[in-house]
Chain A
């Protein structure tokens, strides 16, 4: 199966070896952070195994549930855990490479480094910062940090975000209105969606 994500580390590797082009298997997702790195360094992405057009035009039958898909919602919990562990360790790796002004802690990772939104790689610290600045709703946090905007639509992080917000505001989590539910429930192709 194709890797689920391309992470910062993969891009960093390519950079270190002076590559200006990266081949990735079709249907691979690129993490937002990795994407920024790609953009910032003018790296070209090529899909392996097919001409660019073919790769992206390849028909996917939306009714075929077994189709290999990058959807986080469709990988098993065990796999998800592994991916999350990877993301956490890789983000920490990437952070320690950043310039010293953004890295405050020498004593290893803190609670704030915990990745809360796995799809978008958003940490607890980033969420707390927004709450500290006066944002008081899960919808607000989602818009600004992107936590919950990824492929799983907050299925994994919504509860954690609510908890962090409740702690930040000093109220009970039950008093917090969850983010607005958005259709579709699971990813659906334009072709399938267009038929209503």
Chain B
């Protein structure tokens, strides 16, 4: 067991694995530490929607690149991840919802996303099963869905085959700093010397940030999902709702998966487990309302999960001025799955070259105290001057050891 590492990644969810894969491809030997099993938390309970539409506009360049990467994931990772790119319908049932959707569609078009408003007749051509109350939708043809467990597993397997080292069932309990810089990661089993640590700890990302003395405006949002027994193919799109109350799809194996954010449980739960049983029934009512044909289909399983919700709804990425050697990749606010492939690449670029090919300035940690337009540590080469642990020649240095 090595107790020295080029870089330690905390968290073996989809984010940690995507980063590990990209770093291993670059020739590093990242060490991933995961307290449960691979994909044991959010990545193991996620809905698998892979979409660009209805994203925060700041995220759009990343989201669009991620969709491109999803298209080649099968070949790149050597595993079929059941990726289906058949569009996303965001359904509207009132004039008010249509109006909001129109504005949002226009905004998204303005940053280059291909999507449109469609009326009920056009919806029925794409999906003949929607209920009477649906009067229009935002439609993005390049959105889709994927088997999330296989994506996480595929990144894991490939990273491992390229030399990434994994310690599962081992928990990071502390991060040691010397003169303010990261020098080691301490787990319940060992201490690993390193000058670079990536916080890909999902909902626990806040606690991990606390280990180096900084805090995040992040809170858990509780959500539930359910799945039916398999049925013959009905529709292939990802389904969303104008107000984001529920979402769903038919998986390639036949079952319908639906999830949602309805009922009071969103705020009331016990350690990520439901206290009451309102959400499942509430989701079911929406399913019947929007897809009456599913009324008598059988639900066979329900589950729940926590979403790492940031105060401003977008993730925290990149380096931190205050703590050289500490890198954020957390706070995905309920849509980290769609972004994972691109996040893996960008964080790896940042670590290898001090520059991400898609600017991630808007996502840096210091946005929370410096406000809008500021120079952040994660901006291109600025990293190399302000963050000395990641020296300009980290790559050279790595080659030399």
Contacts and interface: CB of A to CB of B under 8 A. Distances in A.
Interface of A: 24, 29-30, 32, 35-36, 38-39, 45, 53, 56-60, 70-71, 120, 130, 133-137, 139-140, 143-144, 146, 149-151, 153, 180, 182-184, 187-191, 193-196
B295 A144 contact: no
Nearest to A35: B254
18 contacts: A38-B233, A59-B295, A71-B229, A71-B298, A133-B160, A134-B38, A134-B166, A134-B168, A135-B38, A136-B37, A139-B40, A150-B229, A151-B300, A182-B301, A182-B302, A182-B303, A184-B301, A196-B281
Interface of B: 36-40, 44, 149-150, 153, 156-157, 160, 166, 168-169, 226, 228-230, 232-233, 252-254, 277-278, 280-281, 284-285, 287-288, 292-303
Nearest to A146: B253
A192 B154 CA distance: 37
Contacts of A36: 252
Contact of A194 (B44, B160, B229, B288): B288
Nearest to A6: B232
**Residue among B166, B226, B252, B299 having the largest count of chain A Cβ atoms under 10 Å:** B299
Contacts of A184: 299-302
A137 B301 contact: no
Given A35-B252, A140-B38, A194-B288, A45 B233 contact: yes
B288 A53 contact: no
Contacts of B292: 57
Contacts of A190: 228, 284, 287-288, 294-297, 299
Given A140-B38, A190-B284, A32 B296 contact: no
A122 B59 CA distance: 39
Contacts of B298: 71, 187-189
Nearest to B80: A36
A193 B299 CA distance: 8
A35 B250 CA distance: 13
A82 B288 CA distance: 36
Main SS class of interface, B? mixed
B296 A196 contact: no
A6 B223 CA distance: 34
B157 A191 contact: no
A194 B39 contact: no
B296 A135 contact: no
A58 B300 CA distance: 19
Contacts of B233: 38-39, 45
A49 to B, nearest CB: 15
A187 B228 CA distance: 8
Contacts of A193: 226, 280-281, 284, 299
Contact of A32 (B38, B253, B297, B299): B253
A137 B36 contact: yes
B385 to A, nearest CB: 39
A140 B39 contact: yes
B302 A29 contact: no
Contacts of A71: 229, 298
A38 B232 CA distance: 10
A150 B229 CA distance: 7
A136 B168 contact: yes
Contact of B150 (A38, A144, A188, A191): A144
Given A45-B232, A194-B287, 8 more contacts: A56-B293, A59-B295, A71-B298, A140-B44, A151-B300, A182-B301, A187-B299, A195-B281
A191 B300 contact: no
Nearest to B274: A183
A151 B296 contact: no
Nearest to A46: B232
A95 B235 CA distance: 29
Contact of B296 (A24, A39, A58): A58
A191 B233 CA distance: 21
Contacts of A24: 232
Contacts of A149: 301
Contacts of A120: 253
